[in-house]
Structure 1
Amino acid sequence: MKKWLVGAMACSGLLLASCADSAEVASTEAGRIREDDLYERMKNEVTQSGMTYGEQMLQQILLEDILDHAYGDDVSDEDVEAELEREAEPYGGLEEFEEMIAMQGMSADDVRDSIRTSLQVRAAISDSVEITDEEIEEAYENYALDSTVAHILVEDLELAEQLIEELNDGADFGELVAEHTTDTGTLETNGELPLEPGRFVPEFEEAALELEEGEITQEPVESQFGYHIIKMVEMGEKGTLEEERDDLEAMILDNYMQDQVVVQEAIGELVRNANVQISDEDLTGAMEQFMQPAGEQPGQEAIDEDMLNELLEEEGVDQDEDAVEEDVDSSDDEEADVESDDAEDESDE
C-alpha cells in the first residue's frame, strides 16, 4: 500500500515537473501559458470542419512531408522561381510583388513554399489522371493562343453600363481604365493582359472568347469581383492540335487542379502508400479521410477546404490585386458552388 502511494506521488510529481518545465509561449498578470497547455487545447478544440486544430495542423505537416518525399526531386528551385516570376508579373515584377505581400505580413519565401507544394500537388495529379484525346480535342476547340484582352473592373452595374456607352461613343479604353478600374494589377498596362485559358474566372473567359478583335462586350460581365467591360485587343493564332498538345495538356491539368475530388484522390493514393503512423491517440483522425479511395467514402467531404487552400495556394495575396485571375486554391468559388448545389437540392425536394 505504501509502495503504491509513494509510486503515485512520484508519478504525480513527475507530471507536475513536466508541465512546469514546458516552454512558455505567453504570459499575463493572470499567469503563464506553456507549450503543453497550447498543445492540449489544439488537440481538443474543434474547428468548423469537424476536425480539431491539432488534427488540421498535423494533417498539413504530414501532407507536405509526403508530397516532398514523393515529388521533391521533381520540383526544382528553378521551377519555383519561374512560377514566382510569373505570379509577380501582373504586379509589375518581383520587387513590387514583394512589397505588396509584405503589407500582408508575408515574404517571398512564404510564397515560394506555397508554390513548391502546389507544383508537387500538380505532379501528383499528373501521375494520377489520364488525359484523353477527347479532352485535348475539346480544349483545342476553345483554345485562343497569345490573344490579348483588356478590361475595366468596377463595382457598380450602372457605372459599367455607362462606360460601355462612352466606349461606343469613341472614348479611349486606356483612359477609362486609368480613371475607373479597381483592378490595380492591370493599371500600368491600360487594362491589358494575355488571355490564357484556365487562368481566369469562367465568366470572364467565356465572354472574352466570344469577342472578335477590337470588339467590346456590350453588356457588363459579372463575376465575384464586380463588373467587367472586356475588349479583345488582339486575336492570336494557334497551330495544329499536335503543335499545341503540350500546352493543351498543361491547361487541362490546371483544370484538374481545381477539382477537389481529383486532388483528394491523387493525394490520398500517396497517403495510403506512405505508412502513416500517428502515435498520439487524440490525433489519429488527422489522415482518416485519405485512408480509402474517395469513391468508397459515401457522405464524407472531399479534402478539408481550408487544407486544400493551404496546399494549393500559389500566392497567398489579396485577390483584389489581380481580380480576374482564378486562384488555384479559391475557396469563395467553391463555397458559392456548394451553396448553389444545396439550393438546387432543396428546390428538387
Structure 2
Amino acid sequence: MKKMLFGAVACSGLLLAGCASSPEVASTVAGRVREDELYERMKNEVTQSGMTFGEQMLQQILLEDILDHAYGDEVSDEDIDAELEREAEPYGGIEEFEEMIAMQGMSLDDVRNSVRTSLQVRAAIKDHVEITEEEIEEAYENYAIDSTVAHILVEDLGLAEEIIDELNDGADFGELVAEHTMDTGTIESDGELVLEPGRFVPEFEEAAMELEEGEFTQEPVESQFGYHIIKLVEEGEKGTLEEERETIEAMLIDSYMQDQAVVQEVIGELVRDANVQISDEDLTGAMQQFMEPAPEQQEMDQDMLDELLEEDGNGVEEDPESDEDTDTDVDTDDDSEEAEEDNE
C-alpha cells in the first residue's frame, strides 16, 4: 500500500485552468504533474480490492487517527521501544535491524509507526474482548514454557564433529560459538535461542526436544542451513495457573489479534463511534465496510489488515541466506514466505 506508483501525464485541456493554479509535484520534458491531477487520479484509479487508491489511503489515515485518539495514551514510547528491541533482537540489535530495513526501502520511523498502530489495535482488542475463565483454564492446560537452547552452526560436517569432540573434552560452549558459528547474531548470547514451537526447521526442533537439560547433540544435526550442534540450556517448567495467568491472558489476546473477524468487529465499533464525516463524495466508500455492525459488514480489506497487524519484523522480509540474521538460520521457510507476502 505504501508502494503505490501513479502514471504521470500532462494536464488535459479540460483541466488546464485548474491545474495551472495547483502546486506542482513533478515534471518531465512532456509537461508538469499538479497536485489536483494526482488527487483526481488517486480518486479514480481502482485497486484489486475494488477501492480506489484514494479510498485506501484515506481509510489508513482515518483508522490510524481513530486508534490514536482512542488508545494513544495506552501505548507509550517505552512500549514501542520495547517491542522494537524484541523485533530487532534476532537481527543482532537495533543498528543491524535498521540497516536491514533500509535495504528494503524502509526507515526505523516507518517501523515505529507500524508498531504503534499494532499495539493500539491490541489495546482495543483487550478492551473489547471478554476472556472467560474457561478459556484461560483450557489455554493453561495446553501451555508449555519455552525451553532455552544454544546452537553452533557450521558449514562443514567434519568441523561439526570436531566441535562435538571438543565439547566432550570439556570445552566451553560459548567460546566455541564465538569461534565457529555462522549464526553471528547469537554470538553475544553464547548461541542461545528460545525454543518456541514452530519457529525452527523440523530437524532442529526435533533434535532439541530429545535432549535433557545440559546435554548437547552427539551427532551434527543437518538442516538446509548447515550443521548444528545443539545444547538444551534450560528446560521450561510451567508454574501454577495463578502464576501463569497474566502470560496466558496475553497469549489469548495475541490469538485474537490473528482473528480477522475479531479485529474487524473491534475496529468497526471504534469507527462507528468516531462520527466519521467524509466531505469528498468520491471518497465516501473509504469507511463503508465499517459502517454496518457485524456480521453484515464486509470483510476488512486484507492489505489494510496486514498494515494494522504487521508481524514477524512488522512486515520486514527476512533473508534466510543472510549471515546477519539469527533466527532465520533455523526458522521455518513458511515464516520467510509470510514476511515476503506482507511486503508485497
* TM-score above 0.5: yes
Q: How does 1:1-349 map to 2 (within 5 A)?
A: 16-145=16-145, 147-150=147-150, 185-186=185-186, 189=189, 192-195=192-195, 200=199, 211-212=210-211, 213=213, 214=215, 232-297=232-297, 300=298, 302-313=299-310, 315-320=314-319, 321=325, 322-323=327-328, 332=338
Q: Which moved more, 1:199-208 or 1:51-60?
A: 199-208
Question: Does the aligned pair in 2 maintain the 1:151–1:228 contact within 8 Å?
Answer: no
What are the superposed Cα offsets for residues 41-60 of structure 1, whole Å, 9 maximum, x if unpaired?
Answer: 11111111121111111110
Identity of aligned residues (%): 70
Q: TM-score, with normalisation over the residues of structure 1?
A: 0.71
In structure 2, do the counterparts of structure 1 residues 201 and 276 end up closer, same or farther at CA, with 3 Å as the change threshold? Answer: farther
How far did residue 261 of structure 1 move? 1.3
Q: What are structure 2's unaligned runs of at least 5 residues?
A: 1-12, 168-172, 320-324
Residue identity matched to 2:338: D
Distance in 2 of aligned mates of 1:142 and 1:228 = 32
Question: For 1:227 and 1:123, how far apart are their aligned partners in 2?
Answer: 41
Q: Report the alpha carbon displacement of residue 88 of structure 1 after superposing the two structures with TM.
A: 1.8
Deviation at 1:256, TM superposition (A): 1.4
- DSSP-derived class of the 2:193 partner: strand
Note closer, same or farther for the CA distance 1:91–1:333 as it changes in structure 2 (3 Å cut): closer
Give the alignment's TM-score, normalised by structure 2.
0.72
1:279 CA drift (Å)? 1.4
Could you say what the CA RMSD is over the residues aligned between the two structures, in angstroms?
A: 4.2
How many residues matched?
309
User: Against the structure 1 CA distance between its residues 34 and 303, is the aligned structure 2 distance closer, same or farther, given a 3 Å change threshold?
Assistant: same
Mean CA deviation greater in 130-139 or 66-75: 130-139
Unaligned runs of 5+ in 1: 1-12, 336-349
Alpha-carbon offset, residue 15 of structure 1: 6.5
| In 1: Cα distance, 2:294 partner to 2:267 partner | 11
CA distance in 2: counterparts of 1:76 and 1:125, whole angstroms: 17
Which one has the bigger helix percentage? Answer: 1
> Residue 97 and residue 34 in structure 1: after superposition, are their counterparts in 2 closer, same or farther (change >3 A)?
same
The alpha carbon displacement at 1:116 in A equals: 0.8
Partner Cα distance (1:119, 1:192) in 2:
27
SS of equivalent to 2:27: strand
8 Å CA contact retained: 1:118, 1:312: yes
Using the alignment, how far apart are the partners of 1:268 and 1:312 within structure 2? 15
